[in-house]
Amino acid sequence: MPVPAADVRLPEPHPDPLRSLMRRVAVAVGLIVLVALIAFLDRDGYRDVDDSPVTLLDAFYYSTVSVTTTGYGDITPVSDRARLVSTLVVTPARVLFLIILVGTTLEVLAGRARAVYRERIWRRTLSGHTIICGFGSKGVAATDTLLAHGVSAERIVVIDRNPMAVEAARRRGLAGIVGDASASAVLQSAGVASAAAVVVAPGGDADAVLMTLTARELNREATVVAAVRDSENVHLLEQGGADSVVVSSGAAGRLLGQAVRSPRIVRVLEDLLNVGEGLDVIERDVRPEEVGPLDALPASAPVIAVVRGDEVLRFDDARARRLEPGDRLVCLCSHAR
């Protein structure tokens, strides 16, 4: 099934095209100024068609028509020194100017073809990636966490209606698509069928429900996580296929309430959410030698929960006291600062 066309914006592997163009323009202008100054300093070696003295304006005129190969012939070098300078300086400047002109023209003409080729290669290698639907504050924070966990920027695709948000993602080395992530065509352009995870983080709950439904319809196996503001909409997202739902307003409210009585505990919770420093919460498989009593595990990495199948067992649950093959541990670990 062909994927509909979309506004895909891949990270630019080369320097900024506008900056590169401005550098070429600066070099071209510099060549004209150089030849003009040489001609003006040796103005006695040049003759105007009406035998009038060569002025600074005449020198710039001569430089422009000479370097651009227009060559009207009304101002010409007549002395041996002027002709030598024309041979050793003006002619190489003319050749360099033509190289810049032709190179810039070819690059502009080939730019779209190169972009199409890069997009084709990108689609061919796109698999097992993560799609971020919405690059606002929640989407940016989710991206930062993924990158901190070691996910390559090449394995993240951002979708947002705002072109400025997509450009911000592109400057960070992420591929971006301008469009509505609730539309099947846009998600297909992001390779949702082969994605490993979809993060739904739009500004509104209605968009979150639609994006979740569409993503789950197009990929039954991917992990779909979503954020909503209102806890009343959690069941809609769960019914729509979300594996995990985060209530952003509720989480913030609980932190605020906790901060009233225990502000230092909030700092610890924030530390847990910052990956790669201080305290981290990690999930890992139970090793074969760890199967057995939970109390037998070393205390250096406290276990706070055991994941058994689709169920999460707290550390104080009687069923979690003995670890079984296939269990996963949710535990704390520390990073040296």
**CA angle, 176 then 182 then 185, to 5°:** 65
Mean of the pLDDT values across residues 264-276? 66
Judge contact between 290 and 259, C-beta under 8 A. Answer: no
pLDDT of 213 over the 90 cut: yes
What is the third-level CATH fold of 17-112?
A: Helix Hairpins (1.10.287)
Q: Which two three-digit tokens encode residue 107? A: 């690059």
pLDDT of 244 over the 60 cut: yes
Judge contact between 291 and 285, C-beta under 8 A. Answer: no
Mean of the pLDDT values across residues 261-286? 71
Instruction: Report d(CA 99, CA 83) in Å as an integer.
Output: 23
| Contact residues for 69 (Cβ-Cβ < 8 A; gap 6+) | 94, 97, 98
Per-domain residue ranges of the chain: 17-112, 130-251, 276-335
The confidence score (pLDDT) of residue 112 equals: 61
The confidence score (pLDDT) of residue 276 equals: 59
Q: What CATH number should be reported for the domain whose range is 276-335?
A: 3.30.70.1450
Largest CA distance in the chain: 107
Q: Residues 113-150: pLDDT tens digits?
A: 666 666 677 778 888 999 999 998 889 988 988 888 78
Listed range (95-109, 189-203, 257-271) with the worst mean pLDDT: 257-271
State the residue for tokens 């209606």.
Answer: 161
Instruction: Return mean pLDDT, the chain.
Output: 82
Q: Residues 292-326: pLDDT tens digits?
A: 888 888 776 788 889 998 888 888 888 988 999 99
pLDDT of 218 over the 90 cut: yes
Judge contact between 233 and 205, C-beta under 8 A. Answer: yes
Instruction: Label residue 194 by pLDDT band (50, 70, 90).
Output: very high
- Considering the domain delimited by 130-251, tell me its CATH architecture: 3-Layer(aba) Sandwich (3.40)
Q: Which two three-digit tokens encode residue 317? A: 């649950």
Q: Is the dihedral of CA 55, 56, 61, 63 positive or negative?
A: positive
Angle, helices 17-41/56-67, rounded to nearest 10 degrees = 130
- Give me the helices (H) in the chain, please: 17-41, 56-67, 80-85, 91-125, 137-148, 163-171, 184-189, 205-218, 234-240, 248-261, 263-273
The confidence score (pLDDT) of residue 12 equals: 62
Q: Residues 1-60: pLDDT tens digits?
A: 444 456 777 676 555 566 777 777 888 888 889 888 988 888 888 888 888 888 888 888
- Give me the helices (H) in 43-183, please: 56-67, 80-85, 91-125, 137-148, 163-171
User: Which tops the pLDDT comparison, 282 or 291?
Assistant: 291
User: Which tops the pLDDT comparison, 213 or 23?
Assistant: 213
User: Which tops the pLDDT comparison, 105 or 62?
Assistant: 62
